[in-house]
Structure 1
Amino acid sequence: MQKVYLDNAATTAIRPEVIDRMADVMRNQFGNASSTHSFGRSAKALLEQCRKNIAAHLNAEASEIVFTSGGTEADNFALRSAVRDLGVTKIITSRIEHHAVLHTAEQLQKEYNIDVEYVKLDAHGGVVLESLEDLLKEEGKKLVSLMHINNEVGNMLNLEQVSNLCKTYDALMHSDTVQSIGHYKLDLKKLKVDYLAASAHKFHGPKGVGFCFVRNGSGLKPLIYGGEQERGYRAGTESIHNIVGMSEALDLSYKNIETEKQHIINLKQYFITTLNQKLNGIAYNG
């Protein structure tokens, strides 16, 4: 029996072109990007080329892209440093965030005695903006952490509206965009978010690599200490082949975005139509 994979919200298959590109790098670009000899310089040039490429897709500065092991590390990096180093005393989030945010916020509450507040949601899981504004009016330095697209019900947050509201009340804004990077176009010059998290395996790239968007001048400090990689933000020898795979996957995702989006819409409509024909009383989340 042929199996059909229906769990792309959890992870996606790596595109064949990405595998080929990564294999080439593993064979021929194996130098340490911190080394000063030719192998290292070649790896460093490739690393920075990928950083510029990813930043260009998001209309961000290359200096604002920090490579990580994935979305969970990126979320931890932003939330932990905001509390530890920037003096955040209140995190505003929702009950349906990814555990990378929820459990981190809970742990920070235990470690630093901060307040964690949960915004109200409507019947479909959408953020009630009046509730968010009420929480933003409260005292204390605040960080809002709300995901762009929910990984379980598929709700999409209006990032522009929410980030503007955060800036009105001088609050920091973090968003887990793991489900949207590579599938929706984001303009980080336009959006007033401070931090974003992304993971390559959600847009047909390799597992174990992602990035955190850190707006210039944010003041974040490292989560992992050691060497001076990633401009001091994230110690550890960079996984060049994984980063190249992520960059290649992002290229292909945005190159094919309209075609693949329409294909998914068609599949969704076929699925809903067929279910409605065969079963009664179905309700759809999101």
Structure 2
Amino acid sequence: MRVLITGASRGIGAGIARRLANDALARGETPHLALTASRESDDLTAMVAELEEQGARARALVGDMADPASPARLVEQALAFCGGLDGVVSNVGIMAPGRLAELDQADWDRLFDVNVRGTWLLAKAAYPALKASRGSLVNIASMVGVHPHPGSGAYSSSKAAVIMLTQQLAQEWAADGIRVNSLSPGMIHTPATDKMYRHPEVAMRRQEVIPMHQIGQPAHIAGVVAFLLGEGAAYMTGQNLLADGGFAGSIMAHISGLPPQG
């Protein structure tokens, strides 16, 4: 298994790297994983060391996805290390909360540059390698790309664009044997959201509205990504899977007067 994972220094990206490495090693394979981040960090270095200690081959790559030249360069470096690509996971994404009426254009542009244009350019650069391997692309979107999140600035719009980009790529690349799917996480406890979940009341109120009554972990998302990249999803393309503990589908349960749910 040869996979490029963006935004892989910690959180969901790191969880995906761990899961793919563990699964490949369990099959008796030596996985080659190219892990990217926007800058060098102790987290990225430690992630590579952890994977290599387990028996995987891993390489740290650095590039800002807001730079239009970065995606192609990262793919080129990943190909040099991996010798090809069986999968690409576009996980990198940024947020800049704000109400649209007051949002700065610079914040809107940066989110679309990283979350949407970066995802497209990464896919475009990886296309020849994925065609050669009849591989798979997984884009990490968000449940707020399906349901609007007031005050999220351009984030909801950008993730909705990622979902449509995924569906269009899936249609255009299906004949080449490339599967393209997206995964929309719900409320996940990561280093980026840890400050919020340190408030017991916030964590409790969020758990209460999730039908499964638990906040998701990176490992939950990693398991779905492993499925989408694997043979079990060999006849799936153009799909957006929600991994949110049932939250997005629970809106009717919050209407007063209906029977209690869950």
TM-score bucket of the superposed structures, by smaller chain = 0.3 to 0.5
Whose helix fraction is larger, Structure 1's or Structure 2's? 2
TM-score (norm 1): 0.39
Structure number with greater Rg is 1
Q: Taking CA–CA contacts closer than 8 Å with sequence separation of 6 or more, which of the two structures ends up with the larger relative contact order?
A: 1
